Structure 1
């Protein structure tokens, strides 16, 4: 089985509002997104399909065909539209990122030829995307990206000085070194039938800031953060520690992704390792 992807971009407007609610309640739940005038995004949709290799052509499917199928749906239904006012489905269902990826899954999966839809990932902006994967029913994943700056020293108490220096090199500098970390916090669930959301983003932001960022940002992980006492703060360990920081407050936490640099990325799926 081979997997391939194609990206399709579009622009659209939306608003998060429930007409039966008071203005105060809409603002409380949806924040700035409740503006009745709407707001907009440049969306990026990553479409991953799977299929068997055609021995004659050497391809599974022409990616231009994927672009044409998906592009037709996007052009006719979403691009350049105020979704709440111009799309029949989203007049009745709030066009959250989660609801959008669900709707697009249904439309695209029935339209593909010579391949099957494996995954859809819809970026609302560089810091927020929703994702749907085959075989997971109505489950949707939502990932929010955060940033913190910190220093650490890679040094294991289980190794001697020579072994640490050989294994970690410059990263074993006794004074430490630093990174601009980017943290991907991924939750999953079935979008709420009323709000269209998996989680209140303001609540997610509050939890991540209170129990992770405030402890990590502008800190030396070895020296300043209680959770790293006795631990070697490799990025693998940082991802696990952050998961453990957040899991008690986010029962639908799916995984933690950690970008140490643009080249180095790490994921932790929790103690059960369910991917």
Structure 2
């Protein structure tokens, strides 16, 4: 006799979710395709812009950015060397594709995450309602929300952007909310007493004081976006993850290791520069 869970108590909401996705496709398919086309134009345009920059000039720009952030010549040389290492592996074009995907995804994270963090910091009800949603976004397996994203946007770069956005957004929202919540209330009260409006208190006091925490959240979002590049390659987005996936499919260990090291090198460059700007903000 089976000791399984009783069938009479089992429930399933899979059909309801499928009907919801079908309804979205039927009623909002045109709007979704319009959004998809605009994001694709933005991403492809950024890729083409990066390709127009000579490789040596891009290395110089990264070196200058690293020096401006850290004021360390050695660190700047190391950052330039890591990017040059990716080019020496013959992965320069795929590096630019991955970099464009990460920049667009991170930009969307900032546009959505910082306002959400402000909302959570100033509205207790919104915090109680949205915190469980952020928990689900961080713990839900990636392939679960890839299914509806693929149905709504199809294969390609755009679903990769949305999948990366879902995965990388929560840290920025949480750390923005944390940074704003840790501000001394007496500072805001003093500004209010001097006649500052709510927008002035937010822009001139709260956000500058919370900037280190926001930068830490941005750093975490970028790292999580980079960790999605292999998954993104599985749904049609090209880049460094494409070579990792090809190495898995063909059992080409060398190809997979090279692409993996290139992803690590890019992650180190972005992480060190963003961390240095975060310390500078502090």
**TM-score of the superposed pair, with normalisation by structure 1:** 0.25
Bigger relative contact order (CA 8 A; separation at least 6) = 2
* Larger relative helix fraction: 2
TM-score by length of 2: 0.24
Larger % of strand: which?
1
